[in-house]
Amino acid sequence: MGTAAAAEQVVRDFCDAFDGRNAEALRPYFTDDVVYHNIPLEPAVGIDATIAFIDGFFGMCDGMTIEMVGIAVRDNLVLTERIDTFTVGEVVAPLPVMGAFDVRDGKICAWRDYFDLGQITKMLSGEA
């Protein structure tokens, strides 16, 4: 499997693993020095900070799924267009997200998600 195909598979497998809502189960997908940056917020630097951030996020949601809409790969860079759907009580909030994943040695070393923070805040509060 070529570099691009291997990087794409890592990201696809990682996104599929989100359905389990188990942050620790995601640890094997990351390098120790991973940087996870939801662009409207401060980045989580390092694997422990990244897992803690994801765990906190899972704690706020009753469910979360990732639907891959599109994917583009060049070498070790994987760009994703996704619909990340969060369920909190009776509120179901589908959020359009563009994500960029850098893959090194079969693991994600950088993950950047671009989305409208105002949109998800309104949806989760029931305003949208």
Q: Which of 13, 19, 48, 113 is catalytic?
A: 113
Q: For residue 65, is pLDDT > 70?
A: yes
Give dist(CA 20, CA 52) in Å, integer.
Answer: 16
* The pair of three-digit structure tokens given for residue 50, joined into one six-digit string: 């990244």
The residues facing 92 across adjacent strands are 87
State mean pLDDT over 18-45: 93
Closest CA to 112 of 61, 44, 29, 47: 44
State mean pLDDT over 11-30: 93
79: domain CATH number? Answer: 3.10.450.50
Q: For residue 128, is pLDDT > 80?
A: no
Clarify whether 113 is annotated catalytic.
yes
- Containing structural domain, residue 102: 3-125
Q: Which of 13, 84, 105, 116 is catalytic?
A: 84
Strands 107-114 and 30-38 come out as parallel
Domain count for the chain = 1
Q: For residue 80, is pLDDT > 90?
A: yes
Q: For residue 1, is pLDDT > 70?
A: no
Clarify whether 84 is annotated catalytic.
yes
The residues facing 83 across adjacent strands are 67, 96
User: What SS3 state is found at 115?
Assistant: coil
